[in-house]
Amino acid sequence: MLYATLKNKNWGKEISFWGITNSEVSHVSGEGAKKGAKKGAKSKEIEQRVEAVYREICKNPSVKNVELEALVGATKRQIESDLKTLQDTGRIHREDGNRKGRWIID
């Protein structure tokens, strides 16, 4: 059997394969399956965090972002992203401004 390793100089990734076609390359190297599993686990993690933020807002509509960070255990940027996701999907919206406002559950 023939074994070869190619180095992609543009991306710095090595691809090991036994065949010639791209389908054989991705099948043998297994990189696609590994990345897909990581991506799926990551998106599930994000969905769980968004739901945790939503539950905390349901409990206390006037909760601050800093409090959400502590309650959910996420960073400021993650909380902002989760709140934007909830707003974009129409589940919540903000009333009476940023400082003394509160979240309204839609």
The per-residue pLDDT for 32 is 57
Instruction: Give the residue, 51 or 8, on which the prediction is more confident.
Output: 51
In the three-class reduction of DSSP (H, G, I as helix; E, B as strand; rest coil), residue 12 is classed as: coil
Q: What is the tens place of the pLDDT at every residue in 38-97?
A: 677 788 999 999 999 999 999 999 999 999 999 999 999 999 999 999 999 999 999 998
- CATH match for 4-105 among 3.40.50.300, 3.40.50.880, 1.10.10.10, 3.40.718.10: 1.10.10.10
Closest CA to 106 of 62, 96, 95, 98: 95
The whole-number average pLDDT for the span 7-27 is 50
Q: Where are the alpha helices (DSSP H) in the chain?
A: 22-29, 31-59, 65-72, 76-88
Could you give phi then psi for residue 75, rounded to 5 degrees? -80, 170
User: Greater confidence, 98 or 8?
Assistant: 98
Which residues are 104's β-sheet partners? 93
Residue 19 neighbours by CB under 8 Å, 6+ apart: 25, 28
- What are the domain boundaries of the chain? 4-105
